[in-house]
C-alpha cells in the first residue's frame, strides 16, 4: 500500500520536517503554471495524510481542479465541508458556476453564505438562481427574506415548520433547516439555533450537523459538546465509522482551541480503536500523529505515546507511515528514555525502509556499539558503510521534478544484508517499549501520578479566570501547563473535566489547590482538602490508566 507519490516521497523522507517539505512543494507547484493537475492532486493527498489543518490539502485540490482534474472539485468540497469552511464552500461553488453555468452551484454558494452569517452576500447569486430555477420554492423563499419582502418573518418560519411536521424524516430535516435560515436572515438567533438543532435531530443532515457543532464550539460547553458527539456515535455502524467520527471530532476541537485536553484524548482514542480493529487506511493518520506528538512535546509526555507507537508498527501501514512512526519511536527511546536496547528495534525498522537515512547512520555510528557484541557490531557497521548516508534536509529547498521526468523510486537499493539487520534488531523482532526507570532510593512515596490531558478552568485570587490543560494529576495534586504567571502560595479554585469510564464521559470536579512549585513548563499545585468523590474519581482514573 502506498499513500504518498514517489516524487513527493523522495523529498519527504529526507526532510527533517515533513510539513515544511510539503509547504515548500505546494508553493512550488502552485506557482508553476505548467505543472500538471496530477502533481497538485498528489500533493493534496499527501497533505491530507500528514497535515492537521487541511487548508493546504484544500488549496491543492482546487489547483488540481483548475488545471483540469474534474474529480478534484468534489474532493475540495468534501474537505471544505469537513473543515466547516463555509466561505470556501461558497467560493468554490461560485467558481464552479462560472465554469459550468449550473444553477445548483449558485444555490450551494448562497446557502453557505447564509449559514456563514453573511446573508447579504447571498442576494446576487440567489437572484440568478431564482431566474434559472423559478419553480424552486425554497430558493424563492430565501430570496424574498433577503429582500425583506416577508412582512411577518416568524409567521413564515412557522409555516415551514408546520410543513416539516408532516414530512418524512429526510424532507423534514431539509424544511427545518430552511426555517432556521429564514430565522438567521431575520436576525432571530434563538429561533435559528432551535430549528438547526431540530433539523439535525430529525434527519442527521450533515449541513445541519456542521452548524450545530459550530454553535456548540462557540459556546465552549463541554457537556453540550459531549452530548452532541455521543449522539453522532449512535448512528455509526462499524469500527471505521467510530474511529473516523472521533478523529474528526478531536481535530475540530483542536482546530477551535476548545477543550484541548478532550481533543487529545479523542484523537488518541480514535487511533487506539482503529489499531485494535486492524484498520490500516486511517484518514489523516499522520496528521493525528503530528497533533499527538506536539502535545507530548509540550507536556513532556513522549513515553506515554510509546504503546501507541508499538501498536501502529504491528500493523501493515504504508512504508511512509511506518517510517514516520518508527523515526519517532527511535527518537523517544534514544533521546528521551535513553533505552538503547529498545532504540535498536526502531532503528532497524527505519533501516529496513530507508537504509541511507541519517537517523540510522547516526545511531549505528554513535550508540549501537554500546549494546552489541564488538565483533558483531563491526560487521553491522561495515554493512552500513556500504550504503551512503542521506543528509536530512533541514532548510527545505524543493526540487520539483518536471512533468516529463520519469518517477524515481525513493528507496536506495539496500546493500545491508538481512543478517546485519537481524543483528541490529537484537533478540526482539518487534519494536519495544522503553524500560521505565525505577524511582531513586531517596524518592518519597507519593500518590500515583496519572499522565493524561485534563481541561481545567482556574479562578485566580483577583477573580480572573484562566483556562489551561492539566498535564498530570494524582489524588494529592496536579501540574498545570500554562505560560500565565502564578504566585507561589496562591490558592486557586479549579474546575476540572476529569475523564470518565468511556471516551465521551467527563466528570466536572471543583477543587481548591495551592501553588507550590514553579517550572519552565508550568506549575505544581497541591490539592487542599479535596472532596472524597473527587479523590475517588482520580483513583478510578489511575486504575483505568494502569
Quickly list DSSP for 241-283.
HHHHHHHHHHHHHHHHTSSHHHHHHHHHHHHHHHHHTT----T
Q: Do residues 297 and 184 both lie within one domain?
A: no
Q: Do residues 302 and 358 both lie within one domain?
A: yes
Query: Would residue 157 count as lying in a domain?
Result: yes
Q: Do residues 85 and 214 both lie within one domain?
A: yes
Query: Would residue 407 count as lying in a domain?
Result: no
Q: Is 401 a residue whose pLDDT tops 50?
A: no
pLDDT of residue 415: 54
Per the model's pLDDT, the better-predicted residue between 391 and 91 turns out to be 91
CA 160 to chain centre: 38
**Per-position b or e across 277-289, b if 16+ CB within 10 A of its CB:** eebeebbbbbbbb
Here the CATH number for the domain that contains residue 468 is 2.40.10.220
Here the CATH number for the domain that contains residue 81 is 1.25.40
Q: Do residues 208 and 271 both lie within one domain?
A: no
Q: What CA–CA distances, in Å, run from 125 to 84, 93, 121, 182, 451? A: 21, 10, 8, 17, 53
* End residue of a domain, out of 425, 442, 474: 425
> What's the mean pLDDT in 483-488?
92
Query: Would residue 57 count as lying in a domain?
Result: yes
Q: Do residues 172 and 275 both lie within one domain?
A: no
pLDDT of residue 412: 44
Q: Do residues 215 and 310 both lie within one domain?
A: no
pLDDT of residue 437: 66
Query: Would residue 208 count as lying in a domain?
Result: yes
> What's the mean pLDDT in 133-148?
94
Q: Do residues 220 and 278 both lie within one domain?
A: no
> What's the mean pLDDT in 5-23?
92
Q: Do residues 116 and 162 both lie within one domain?
A: yes
pLDDT of residue 407: 44
Per the model's pLDDT, the better-predicted residue between 399 and 94 turns out to be 94
Report how many domains make up the chain: 3
pLDDT of residue 394: 42
- The per-residue pLDDT for range 435-465, each reduced to its tens digit, is 766 655 554 445 678 999 999 999 999 999 9
Supply the DSSP string of 467-534, one letter for each residue. EEEEEEE-SSEEEEE-SS---TT-EEEEEEEEE-SSTT-EEEEEEEEEEEEEETTEEEEEEES--HHH
pLDDT of residue 448: 75
pLDDT band at 411 (very low <50, low <70, confident <90, very high): very low
pLDDT of residue 420: 79
* End residue of a domain, out of 198, 219, 236: 236
The continuous run of DSSP H or E covering 113 comes out as helix 103-115
How much of the chain exceeds pLDDT 90, in percent?
Answer: 74
- The per-residue pLDDT for range 44-79, each reduced to its tens digit, is 999 999 999 999 999 999 999 999 999 999 999 999
Q: Is 516 a residue whose pLDDT tops 50?
A: yes
Q: Quote the mean pLDDT of the chain.
A: 90
pLDDT of residue 404: 39
Q: Say what the pTM is.
A: 0.91
Q: Is 429 a residue whose pLDDT tops 70?
A: no
CA 269 to chain centre: 12
Q: Do residues 461 and 320 both lie within one domain?
A: no
How much of the chain exceeds pLDDT 70, in percent?
Answer: 92
Nearest CA to 489 among 461, 459, 463, 508?
461
Q: Do residues 25 and 118 both lie within one domain?
A: yes
Q: Do residues 298 and 378 both lie within one domain?
A: yes
Query: Would residue 400 count as lying in a domain?
Result: no
Other beta carbons within 10 angstroms of residue 235's beta carbon come to 9
Range of the domain at 133: 6-236
Query: Would residue 441 count as lying in a domain?
Result: no
> Rounded to an integer, what distance in angstroms lies between the CA atom of residue 546 and that of residue 337?
19
Report residue 468 as a C-alpha cell: 489551561
Nearest CA to 38 among 1, 82, 86, 70?
70
- The per-residue pLDDT for range 112-123, each reduced to its tens digit, is 999 999 999 999
Query: Would residue 436 count as lying in a domain?
Result: no
> What's the mean pLDDT in 412-423?
68
Query: Would residue 445 count as lying in a domain?
Result: no
> Rounded to an integer, what distance in angstroms lies between the CA atom of residue 228 and that of residue 250?
13
- The per-residue pLDDT for range 327-376, each reduced to its tens digit, is 999 999 999 888 999 999 999 999 999 988 989 899 999 999 998 889 88
* End residue of a domain, out of 236, 255, 275: 236
Q: Is 391 a residue whose pLDDT tops 90?
A: no
pLDDT band at 103 (very low <50, low <70, confident <90, very high): very high
- The per-residue pLDDT for range 165-213, each reduced to its tens digit, is 999 999 999 999 999 999 999 999 999 999 999 999 998 888 999 999 9
pLDDT band at 2 (very low <50, low <70, confident <90, very high): low
Q: Do residues 155 and 210 both lie within one domain?
A: yes
pLDDT of residue 447: 62
Amino acid at each position: 500500500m502506498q499513500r504518498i507519490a514517489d516524487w513527493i516521497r523522495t523529498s519527504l523522507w529526507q526532510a527533517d520536517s515533513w510539513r515544511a517539505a510539503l509547504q515548500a512543494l505546494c508553493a512550488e507547484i502552485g506557482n508553476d503554471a505548467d505543472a500538471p493537475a496530477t502533481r497538485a492532486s498528489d500533493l493534496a493527498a499527501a497533505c491530507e495524510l500528514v497535515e492537521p489543518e487541511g487548508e493546504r490539502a484544500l488549496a491543492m485540490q482546487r489547483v488540481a481542479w483548475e488545471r483540469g482534474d474534474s474529480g478534484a472539485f468534489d474532493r475540495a468540497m468534501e474537505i471544505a465541508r469537513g473543515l466547516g469552511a463555509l466561505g470556501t464552500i461558497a467560493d468554490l461553488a461560485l467558481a464552479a458556476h462560472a465554469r459550468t453555468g449550473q444553477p445548483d452551484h449558485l444555490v450551494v454558494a448562497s446557502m453557505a453564505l447564509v449559514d456563514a452569517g453573511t446573508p447579504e452576500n447571498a442576494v446576487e447569486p440567489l437572484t440568478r438562481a431564482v431566474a434559472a430555477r423559478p419553480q424552486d420554492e425554497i430558493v424563492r423563499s430565501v430570496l424574498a427574506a433577503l429582500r425583506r419582502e416577508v412582512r411577518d418573518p416568524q409567521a413564515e418560519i412557522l409555516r415551514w415548520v408546520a410543513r416539516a411536521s408532516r414530512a418524512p424524516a429526510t424532507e423534514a430535516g431539509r424544511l427545518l433547516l430552511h426555517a432556521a435560515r429564514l430565522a438567521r436572515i431575520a436576525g432571530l438567533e434563538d429561533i435559528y439555533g432551535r430549528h438547526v438543532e431540530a433539523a439535525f435531530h430529525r434527519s442527521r443532515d450533515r449541513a445541519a450537523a456542521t452548524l450545530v457543532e459550530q454553535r456548540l464550539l462557540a459556546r465552549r460547553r463541554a457537556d453540550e459538546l459531549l452530548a452532541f458527539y455521543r449522539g453522532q456515535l449512535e448512528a455509526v455502524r462499524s469500527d471505521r465509522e467510530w474511529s473516523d467520527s472521533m478523529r474528526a471530532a478531536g481535530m475540530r476541537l483542536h482546530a477551535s482551541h476548545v477543550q484541548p485536553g478532550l481533543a487529545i484524548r479523542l484523537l488518541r482514542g480514535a487511533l487506539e480503536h482503529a489499531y485494535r480493529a486492524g484498520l490500516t487506511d486511517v484518514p489523516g493518520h499522520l496528521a493525528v500523529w503530528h497533533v499527538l506528538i506536539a502535545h507530548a512535546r509540550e507536556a513532556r509526555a513522549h513515553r506515554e505515546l510509546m504503546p501507541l507507537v508499538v501498536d501502529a508498527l504491528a500493523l501493515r501501514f504504508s512504508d511512509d507511515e511506518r517510517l514516520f512512526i518508527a523515526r519517532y519511536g527511535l527518537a523517544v527511546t534514544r533521546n528521551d528514555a535513553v533505552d538503547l536496547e529498545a532504540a535498536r528495534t526502531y532503528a532497524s525498522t527505519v533501516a529496513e525502509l530507508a537504509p541511507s537515512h541519517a537517523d540510522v547512520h547516526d545511531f549505528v555510528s554513535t550508540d549501537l556499539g554500546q549494546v552489541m557484541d564488538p565483533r558483531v557490531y563491526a560487521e553491522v557497521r561495515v554493512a552500513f558503510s556500504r550504503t551512503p548516508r542521506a543528509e536530512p534536509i533541514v532548510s527545505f529547498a524543493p526540487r520539483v521534478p518536471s512533468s516529463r521526468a520519469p518517477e524515481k523510486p525513493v528507496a536506495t537499493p539496500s546493500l545491508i544484508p538481512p543478517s546485519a539487520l537481524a543483528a541490529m534488531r537484537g533478540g526482539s523482532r518487534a519494536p519495544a517499549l522503553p524500560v521505565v526507570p525505577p524511582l531513586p532510593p531517596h524518592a518519597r512515596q507519593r500518590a500515583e501520578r496519572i499522565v493524561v490531558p485534563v481541561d481545567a478552568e482556574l479562578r485566580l485570587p483577583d477573580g480572573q479566570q484562566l483556562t489551561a490543560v492539566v498535564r498530570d494529576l494524582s489524588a494529592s495534586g496536579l501540574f498545570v501547563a500554562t505560560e500565565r504567571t502564578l504566585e507561589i502560595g496562591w490558592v486557586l479554585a479549579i474546575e476540572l473535566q476529569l475523564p470518565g469510564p468511556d471516551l465521551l464521559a467527563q466528570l466536572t470536579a471543583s477543587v481548591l489547590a495551592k501553588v507550590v512549585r514553579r517550572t519552565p513548563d508550568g506549575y505544581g499545585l497541591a490539592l487542599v482538602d479535596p472532596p472524597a468523590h473527587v479523590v475517588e474519581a482520580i483513583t478510578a482514573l489511575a486504575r483505568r490508566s494502569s
